[in-house]
Amino acid sequence: MKCEILAVGTEILLGDIVNTNAQYIAKRLSDIGIFVYHQSVVGDNPERLKEAYDLAFTRADLVITTGGLGPTKDDLTKEIAFEYFGKTSVLHEESFKYIEEVFRKSNRTVSVSNKKQAFFPSDAIVLKNNNGTAPGCIIEEGDKVLVMLPGPPREMKPMFEESVIPYLKKFSKEILVSKVLRVIGIGESAAADMLGDLLDNENPTVAPYAKEGEVTFRVTAKASNEEEAKALIAPIEAKVREILGDNVYGEGNTCLEEVLGQLLTEKGLTIATAESCTGGMVAARLINYGGISASFLEGAVTYSNDAKISRLGVKEETLKEYGAVSHEVAEEMAIGICKTSGAHIGLSTTGIAGPGGGTKEKPVGLVYIGLCYGGEVVTRELNLSGDRQKIRQRATITILDMLRRELLSSK
């Protein structure tokens, strides 16, 4: 069954609101094995709305609309649809009683325009709106199905879950099961090159997606039941994991800080951070994970040289000889935070995030990161591109990944 999602509303075309409904519906349809081939947005304009129905039904069997069920003259989604299918509409008593009830509760009287919301063809399936006055509806015409839902997400979502999902299940013969693998420390194109032909596999499919310094690969199998789908996924997942090795850091919605928090807890290790250019971002990311309190002792944002000296015991000579942005200072910062906090592991960052402050020898984007653990220190030089924000975010992700790899390799 091919589906198209059609959002109706001039406010979306003007960019006043983001069309989050399309994402929500698409995701839930994909969960039950109905694939969306097109999403469209059209304004509250009778002609273009009619054209949109016409187009949608030439390329889809199921069309789901959102928006335009309100009481004003602008709201035309239903009216034009009924016209398109040549149906006349009559007052749906139950819906009207419900609307009256809602108005009585808030001490308002029902206007003529509100009454319009309760008109439907007699053979329509009317969908109750428990969170507003606009009922939705389903029209079946031959092998075509039109589902019309209200626009506000807080009305649309419950109606979709309560009425539409149960209705649609009869159309989904096959189900789609996905597994997401999360990858860090390697770019999208490099990872894709490594996976090669796997990305052309048909069932399951393997699709890459890059986001904020990470890459995810979604393995999606089509099958008649969940067990079968999982059996299809397993060997492909194993291949992806074998090829990408420990660049794969997690599955599904697991975020990097969760993986780190769990590794630290399992190993009974404590951690502290000493940040210059990232200025608190590394600590803030670690503390994103609620369970970190047992492991995270403290962080020092030693932005000035004075703070590096007084808080971390970085030597004045080291700062003079090598400069604050150097392997040597990153090393002393990592050792210093370990010593002063008593943590097992110390992380450090020092770099030039720009826009100013770069020189020929030390350009914007040059960052040193350090990790001290068990008396040993490793430092790394990074040459990052992007604006100030991006350089700091990339340095943060890189040191967190460095920590992950250290925790995995240590016994």
With binding defined as CB under 8 A, does residue 389 bind a second copy?
A: yes
Q: Which is nearer to a second copy, 87 or 213 (CB)?
A: 213
* CA gap 195, 321 in Å, rounded: 46
Q: Which is nearer to a second copy, 278 or 318 (CB)?
A: 278
The separation between CA 36 and the C-alpha centre of its own chain, rounded to angstroms, equals: 19
Contact (CB, 8 A) for 76 and 44:
yes
Binders in 273-302 for a second copy, by CB under 8 A: 273, 275, 277-284, 286-288, 290-293, 296-302
E strands, 185-315, are 205-211, 214-223, 248-251, 271-275, 296-301
Q: Is 180 exposed, middle or buried (0-12, 13-18, 19+ CB in 10 A)?
A: middle
User: Looking at 222, 390, 405, 406, which residue binds a second copy (CB under 8 A)?
Assistant: 390
With binding defined as CB under 8 A, does residue 218 bind a second copy?
A: yes
Mask of contacts with a second copy, 135-174, x by CB under 8 A? -----------------x-x--------------------
With binding defined as CB under 8 A, does residue 93 bind a second copy?
A: no
* CA gap 25, 31 in Å, rounded: 10
Binders in 172-191 for a second copy, by CB under 8 A: 187-190
What six digits make up the tokens of 254? 């697991």
Could you tell me the smallest distance in angstroms from the CB atom of residue 123 to a second copy?
Answer: 27
Could you tell me the smallest distance in angstroms from the CB atom of residue 297 to a second copy?
Answer: 5
User: Looking at 224, 254, 359, 383, which residue binds a second copy (CB under 8 A)?
Assistant: 383
- Provide the pairing of β-strand 144-149 with 136-141: antiparallel
User: Looking at 163, 326, 341, 379, which residue binds a second copy (CB under 8 A)?
Assistant: 341
With binding defined as CB under 8 A, does residue 97 bind a second copy?
A: no
With binding defined as CB under 8 A, does residue 230 bind a second copy?
A: no
Helices (H), 288-352: 305-312, 316-322, 327-341
Binders in 300-319 for a second copy, by CB under 8 A: 300-304, 306-307, 311
Output DSSP code: residue 74: T
Binders in 29-88 for a second copy, by CB under 8 A: 29-30, 35-43, 48, 55, 70-74
User: Looking at 126, 192, 243, 378, which residue binds a second copy (CB under 8 A)?
Assistant: 192
Could you tell me the smallest distance in angstroms from the CB atom of residue 232 to a second copy?
Answer: 18
User: Looking at 46, 94, 111, 226, which residue binds a second copy (CB under 8 A)?
Assistant: 111
Could you tell me the smallest distance in angstroms from the CB atom of residue 155 to a second copy?
Answer: 10
The H or E element spanning position 180 is: strand 175-184
Binders in 118-137 for a second copy, by CB under 8 A: 131
What DSSP string describes 336-404?
HHHHHH--SEEEEEEE--SSS---SSS-TTEEEEEEEETTEEEEEEEE--S-HHHHHHHHHHHHHHHHH
Identify any residues that bridge with 66 across adjacent strands, giving them in sequence order.
Answer: 7, 149
With binding defined as CB under 8 A, does residue 246 bind a second copy?
A: no
Q: Which is nearer to a second copy, 276 or 318 (CB)?
A: 276
**Number of residues this chain uses to bind a second copy (CB under 8 A):** 107
| Stretch touching a second copy by CB under 8 A, among 88-96, 236-244, 367-375, 379-387 | 379-387
**What percent of the residues of the chain are helix, what percent strand, and what percent coil, each to the nearest 5?**
45, 25, 30
What DSSP string describes 81-142?
HHHHTT---EE-HHHHHHHHHHHHHTT----HHHHGGGEE-TTSEEE--TTSS--EEEEEET
